[in-house]
Homo-oligomer: A and B are copies of this chain.
Amino acid sequence: MNEFELIQNYFNWPLSDPGIELGIGDDAAIFNLDSGYQLVTTTDTLSEGVHFFKNDSPEDIAYKSLAVNLSDIAAMGATAKCFTLALTLPKLDEIWLKQFSQSLKQTSKKYNVSLIGGDTTRGPLNITITMMGVVEKSKAIKRSGARNGDNIYVSGEIGDAALCLKKINAGERPHKAELIKLNRPIPRIELGSALKGIANSCIDISDGLEQDLSHIIKASKVGAMVAIQELPLSQSMIKYIESNDDWALPLCGGDDYELCFTAPENFNSEIINIAEFCKIKITKIGVINDSKDLKIKGYDGQGQSYQHF
């Protein structure tokens, strides 16, 4: 099978977005941007042994590759539109490819994004997706807009992906519900979009709350005070902390892809409405101050957020 046949067989499904003039099958894809909109683009790689295990299902790997990129677009308040896929494969495994491509197709349909191009290469398994989205001019939520006195919020519950990973690494078998948290994170697309004009900074928690919130305060030139007692935790996490007193997991665990954002206090009731509308728990975890540091009340451990190297 040559690259052309591989793409035809596994990655060439009909596109429904009229903004795409040319998808897979040329030197490059062509995409129309409506006037008044800006292009928003992000790239994330999933690499074996780092983002997934050797024996993880191709369906989960495909899902997660898309989800982590969608999460970045969500954190900008933008709408995801289309993506390219760079797929490096050790060998031509048609069963793996079929499962991977079916999950990719299903997930892209669910989130209304179109695969418009890519590259297939031989080598150790590596999946890089570049996601492109759009946002109304000047409406994107950057990391740099947090101001002294703002509230700090987090969506959903944090630390569960790290807890699941910890169990796997310890040789325990996590429950199915716990595995879903690690392998099937939900990109907060709807929430990100609803926060436009309300949140003044936002980031998705991929490397751990402590590290990712630090990016916000650094970009915004402010400080923050967060209390561990306020962190939104699942029942499993509460149980884990009760027996281990290990707050590093929710504070520094990555891979949850929840949104951390800031907004002035006067938007608080609107944020409660958004939480109801999006059916997502949103929790106030602290306040922005003018100290330039991140203080975590109740935690005296060292930062243990994810380091890429």
A170 at the interface (CB under 8 A from B): no
Partner-binding segment picked from A128-136, A234-242, A243-251: A128-136
Write the nearest CB–CB distance from A46 to chain B, whole angstroms: 8
Instruction: Check if B26 sits within 8 Å of A30, measured CB to CB.
Output: no
Instruction: Check if B122 sits within 8 Å of A124, measured CB to CB.
Output: no
Tally chain A residues at the interface, Cβ within 8 Å: 74
Instruction: Check if A33 sits within 8 Å of B33, measured CB to CB.
Output: yes
Bound Cα distance A307, B120 (Å): 11
Instruction: Check if B130 sits within 8 Å of A26, measured CB to CB.
Output: no
A269 at the interface (CB under 8 A from B): no
Within 8 A of B (CB), among A104-132: 116-124, 126, 128, 130-132
Say which residue of B49, B128, B131 sits within 8 Å of A128 (CB atoms): B128
Instruction: Check if A30 sits within 8 Å of B132, measured CB to CB.
Output: no
Partner-binding segment picked from A36-44, A272-280, A293-301: A36-44
A38-74 vs B, Cβ < 8 Å mask (1 yes, 0 no): 1111111111111100000000000000000000110
Which residues of chain B are near A3, meaning CB under 8 Å? 207, 307-309
Say which residue of B29, B49, B309 sits within 8 Å of A92 (CB atoms): B309
Which residues of chain B are near A49, meaning CB under 8 Å? 123
A1-30 vs B, Cβ < 8 Å mask (1 yes, 0 no): 111101000000000000001100111111
Say which residue of B1, B4, B40, B123 sits within 8 Å of A48 (CB atoms): B123
Q: A28-B72, A41-B132, A45-B128 are in contact. Are A140 and B22 (CB under 8 A)?
A: yes
Bound Cα distance A85, B46 (Å): 14
Instruction: Check if A27 sits within 8 Å of B143, measured CB to CB.
Output: yes
Write the nearest CB–CB distance from A19 to chain B, whole angstroms: 9
Q: A27-B72, A39-B39, A76-B28 are in contact. Are A121 and B2 (CB under 8 A)?
A: no
Residue of B at shortest CB range from A33?
A: B33
Bound Cα distance A122, B306 (Å): 12
Write the nearest CB–CB distance from A204 to chain B, whole angstroms: 6
A-B CB contact pairs (8 Å), 10 listed? A2-B307, A3-B309, A27-B76, A27-B204, A28-B76, A29-B40, A45-B119, A46-B121, A86-B86, A126-B126
A residues at B contact (CB < 8 Å): 1-4, 6, 21-22, 25-33, 35, 38-51, 72-73, 75-76, 78, 84-86, 88-89, 91-92, 116-124, 126, 128, 130-133, 135, 137, 140, 142-144, 202-204, 207, 211, 215, 219, 307-309
Q: A-B pairs with the 3 shortest C-beta distances?
A: A47-B123, A28-B42, A130-B130
